Copies of this chain bind each other. A is one copy, B any other.
Amino acid sequence: MTSIDTGIREFLESRVEAAKAKDIDRLMSHYSPGIVYYDVVPPLRFAGTDEVRGNFVRWFDGYDGPISLQTHDLDVAVSGDVAFAHMLHLDSGKRTNGLETSIWVRSTVGCRRSNGAWLITHEHISLPIDMETLRAWFPPEV
C-alpha cells in the first residue's frame, strides 16, 4: 500500500466516524461543493452541500443516539488526484420509534484531490429491490 492509498483510506474512515458520531459539520467537511449524491431515499439525486446536509440531518434524526456503521469488503482505486471506493455498510441503531434496526447498504464513493486534500464529489448509497414486488430486499442473516 502506498502513502497515497493510506491517505484516501484514512479519509474514508474519517467519513464513517463522522457519520457514526452524527457530527454533521465534520461529515460535511468531506464533501465537495459540487457533490452529486444518489441516496437510498428519493429523489433521484441530491446536488450541492445544502441538499446533502439536509438529507444527512434527516438520516441522523431517525436515530435515538449514535449510528453503528460497520464497513465490509472495502476496495479502493486511486491514481493521481482521482479515487473511487466501494464497500458494504451494516447500518444499525435504535430508531426514534424505539425499534432496533440493522440494514445492509451498498456504498460507492468518488473522490478528487485538490491542493493536497481529498473531497467526495460523488456518492451512491442503495438497497436492492425485488422487481417482482417492487419492495426493498434485505439479505438473510449474514
Whether B122 contacts A75 by the Cβ 8 Å rule is: yes
Tell me, rounded to whole Å, the shortest Cβ–Cβ distance linking A31 to chain B: 14
Given contacts A84-B82, A135-B135, A137-B42, contact A75 B36 (CB under 8 A): yes
A126-B39 Cα distance, complex, nearest whole Å: 9
State the main secondary structure of chain A at its contact with B: strand
Q: How many residues of A contact B (CB 8 A)?
A: 40
Contact of A128 among B40, B77, B104, B137 (CB under 8 A): B40
Whether A38 contacts B129 by the Cβ 8 Å rule is: no
A35-86: which have CB < 8 Å to B?
Answer: 36, 38-45, 73, 75, 77-84, 86
